[in-house]
Structure 1
Amino acid sequence: MSAVLADREFRALWFSEAVSVGGDQLTRVALAILVYQRTGSAFYAAGIYALTFLPALAGGLGLSQLADRYRRRNLMVVCALLQAAVVALMAIPHMPLWALFLLVIIVPMVQSPAMAAQNATLREIYTDDAMYMRSQDLRGITTNTTMLLGLGGGGLLVSAIGASWALIIDAGTFTIAAFLTWRNVVNRPPAGSKNDGWFDGAKWVFGDRKLRVLLTLSWLVGLAVIPEGLAAPLAKEAGAAPEAVGWLLAADPLGFILGTFAISHFVPARHRPRLIGVLATASVGFLVLFAVKPSLPAALVVLFLAGAVGAYQITVMAVFNTLVPNEIRGGAFGAARTGLRVSQGLGVALGGLVAELIGSAMTTVALAGLLGVLIAVPAGLMWGRLNDSAASAPAPAEAPTDSREAA
């Protein structure tokens, strides 16, 4: 993967994303601790944590279109500076709770168009499919590792330096990201036009059969994520100590990291799209094993394996970005990411409801896995047929160069 780091643009975006993700995890922990200390309410503490995720839904579906209408480098820089300013305001001591909640909503909304711009720019940087796949693998490994470290050590760091200083650190990460992006990323002209329809990207995605099938396989993560929402009752049902909750939460992302490395190292880029259906089925299929009520060590192995094959998600998004035209790639990515977030939120909520009704977290996870297999098998077969048909079809004629690209 060192080959992709040789590119100056990618290196800047990769490092910017890594420090920002680490700072974001630190902020989530800091805000939860800060609000709980000031209110003593678990509801408010959980609410402030949830607000760091939920506004991304609206931003992903709406504001992501900005990545097609404006210069992507400039958009990333402006969004990073806005996030730095908002997080710095959060660090002001004795900030009223209503203001804190409002500021928390702004940060992920601003982040949505920046992520769409970054995602589209990376495909512009790497036109070679193999190099592009490697760059996405490295991003996946780095961000998941950073999230694990941020969440795992965030509580200790916040306890040591205080919530306000933790927030100032996060503001600093956004400032670093803005500088590195401005200094190293090429300021390309807008890929789309301000006259384009606002939801053209989303319409194009949902109007294309191949992309609909691809996203169906991606959004299975809404079922695969259910064990995370049920980590505490799973640990109890396995007869484990409370600290096992952290192990259960870490097993899947650790598997994802190692699975991503293995796929990147051993599977050539041209073969990876063919494995999407198989790996998607396996990612939910492993969860069916919870039907036998595994012990804690066995449950950790199952979740690790599910996470390892779940690394197919990186290939899904790489293929998605390749299929979507550059001029609508920002809006299309926003639609895909919004669906991913909605599926995760609904999955966790419904998983909790079913577990409450039937009285068993393990049975709930097994049922989620079974439902996932019933969806994944036909979708995977359909994807295989569509992918083979596209591979055997003659190459389309070269499109005329857009005058905006030549400007």
Structure 2
Amino acid sequence: MFAPLANLEFRALWLTEALSVAGDQLTRVALAILVYDRTGNAMYAAGIYALTFLPALAGGLGLSHLADRYRRRTLMVWCSAGQALLVGLMAIPNMPLIALFVLVIGVPLLQSPAVAAQNATTREILPDDDLYLRSQDLRGITTNTTMLVGLGGGGLLVGWLGTSTALAIDAATFVVATLLVHRYVEDRPPASTEKTSWLDGARWVFGDRKVRILVTLSWLVGLAVIPEGLAAPLAKEIGAPSGAVGLLLAADPLGFIVGTFAISHFVPAALRARLIGVLATSALGVLTLFILKPTLVLALVLLFVAGFVGAYQVTVMGIFNTLVPNEIRGGAFGAARTGLRVAQALGIAAGGALAQGIGSSATTIAIGGALGVLIAVPATVAWSHARREGEDTAAASASAQEAPAAKRESAAKQAS
């Protein structure tokens, strides 16, 4: 799994992403604490936290195609520099709240095209399929571990350093990221020779059958994430102490980290594509067992297992980036990523509404899992057919190319 780190460009991009994710978690916690301390208003504190996510939806769909129109290294450098400036301004003591809200909107907007450019560049610098999939495993483990540690220890760190210092540290991570990308990533020409729009990526995602099936399997995370939104009421329902909420929130991402490592270490790249549907169905199927109203220990085990098999998401996005042409990869990734975020938001909102209506978080999680299985099973069958058709087409193409060569060899022998 660490083999991709031998590539200097990937090493720089991997470290850049790790720094960015760590800084983002620190900033989210710092802003929530800062706004609440200054206003005493929980709604404002939650609002500033939500604003660190919401603009990424618009940016992912509307700005990611810039990664295809312009030089990707240049785009990453300018976006990182811009984020460093915006977060640096947030770190100024006594910054007016209205200014903070505006600055918070700007950071994720700049992040969207940068992430699309980074994602597309990674596929360019690692053309080998197996090596590329392992690079995505490493990214997935690093990102989720950093988020888990960041959200868990961010409050303690901000309390120790202070909000302004914490924000200044995040600004510094963007400065380092800017320097790393500029120094170690090759300055390639734009991927597309035509002026692409945000619609081009979406058209490709929904126009290609195999990609459409992959996106469907990926967006099922909108149902798998329901337990995250119901962690607090679930803990109360199963008779667990309030401190168990953190454990319930950590079980799934911890399972995801372990599952990603296990898949990367034990499952060959060729087999991973065949297992996508099975793992997706299993990830939702595990959640149906919440109908049994589990104890805290069993609930933690179920969420861990769901996260473990849910690690198929890394393979899905790896294959997605392989199927999408380089010249449209940024915009297509933005469309897929935006859909993923929307699915998560809608899933959590719908789960909360259903739990309130029926009065049971455990039953709601089970219903979400059952609905996911109903979607995953036909999608798995469709993916199996599409994959086999692709393999047959590739085999036929290879045979067609070999036939003329065989005829030429036979003619040469006869002439001899």
Match runs of 1:252-263 below 5 Å: 252-263=252-263
Which string of whole-angstrom CA distances, capped at 9 and with x for unpartnered residues, describes residues 73-96 of structure 1?
110010000000000111111111
Give 1:360's aligned residue.
360
Give 2:413's aligned residue.
none
Deviation at 1:205, TM superposition (A): 1.3
Instruction: Tell whether 2:170 aligns with 1:149.
Output: no
Instruction: Tell whether 2:40 aligns with 1:13.
Output: no
Query: Are the counterparts in 1 of residues 204 and 332 from structure 2 also a CA contact under 8 Å?
Result: yes
Instruction: Tell whether 2:323 aligns with 1:323.
Output: yes
Counterpart amino acid of 2:134?
R
Between the aligned partners of 1:210 and 1:24, the Cα distance in structure 2 is 33
- The structure that has the greater radius of gyration is 2
Which string of whole-angstrom CA distances, capped at 9 and with x for unpartnered residues, describes residues 346-376 of structure 1?
0000100000101110000000000000000
Counterpart amino acid of 1:292?
L
Give 1:405's aligned residue.
none
Deviation at 1:48, TM superposition (A): 0.7
Give 1:307's aligned residue.
307
Q: Report the identity percentage.
A: 71
Counterpart amino acid of 2:87?
V
Counterpart amino acid of 2:46?
A
Between the aligned partners of 1:42 and 1:371, the Cα distance in structure 2 is 34
Give 1:140's aligned residue.
140
Give 1:223's aligned residue.
223
Structure 1: unaligned runs, 5 residues or longer: 398-407
Match runs of 1:149-168 below 5 Å: 149-168=149-168
Between the aligned partners of 1:174 and 1:78, the Cα distance in structure 2 is 10
Query: Are the counterparts in 1 of residues 288 and 369 from structure 2 also a CA contact under 8 Å?
Result: yes
Match runs of 1:286-301 below 5 Å: 286-301=286-301
Give 2:93's aligned residue.
93
Which string of whole-angstrom CA distances, capped at 9 and with x for unpartnered residues, describes residues 292-316 of structure 1?
0000000000000000000000000
Instruction: Tell whether 2:370 aligns with 1:370.
Output: yes
Which string of whole-angstrom CA distances, capped at 9 and with x for unpartnered residues, describes residues 127-149 of structure 1?
10000000000000001000011
Give 2:28's aligned residue.
28
Q: How many residues align?
A: 397
Query: Are the counterparts in 1 of residues 2 and 138 from structure 2 also a CA contact under 8 Å?
Result: no
Query: Are the counterparts in 1 of residues 68 and 196 from structure 2 also a CA contact under 8 Å?
Result: no
Which string of whole-angstrom CA distances, capped at 9 and with x for unpartnered residues, describes residues 7-40 of structure 1?
0000000011001100100000000100111111
Query: Are the counterparts in 1 of residues 61 and 198 from structure 2 also a CA contact under 8 Å?
Result: no
Aligned with 2:390: secondary structure? helix
Counterpart amino acid of 1:171?
A
Which string of whole-angstrom CA distances, capped at 9 and with x for unpartnered residues, describes residues 142-178 of structure 1?
0100001110100000000101100000001111111
Runs of 4+ aligned residues of structure 1 deviating over 3 Å after TM superposition are none
Query: Are the counterparts in 1 of residues 64 and 330 from structure 2 also a CA contact under 8 Å?
Result: yes
Match runs of 1:1-400 below 5 Å: 1-394=1-394
Deviation at 1:193, TM superposition (A): 2.8
Deviation at 1:2, TM superposition (A): 2.5
Query: Are the counterparts in 1 of residues 63 and 198 from structure 2 also a CA contact under 8 Å?
Result: no
Between the aligned partners of 1:196 and 1:41, the Cα distance in structure 2 is 43
Give 1:403's aligned residue.
none
Between the aligned partners of 2:177 and 2:380, the Cα distance in structure 1 is 38
Structure 2: unaligned runs, 5 residues or longer: 399-416
Query: Are the counterparts in 1 of residues 2 and 135 from structure 2 also a CA contact under 8 Å?
Result: no
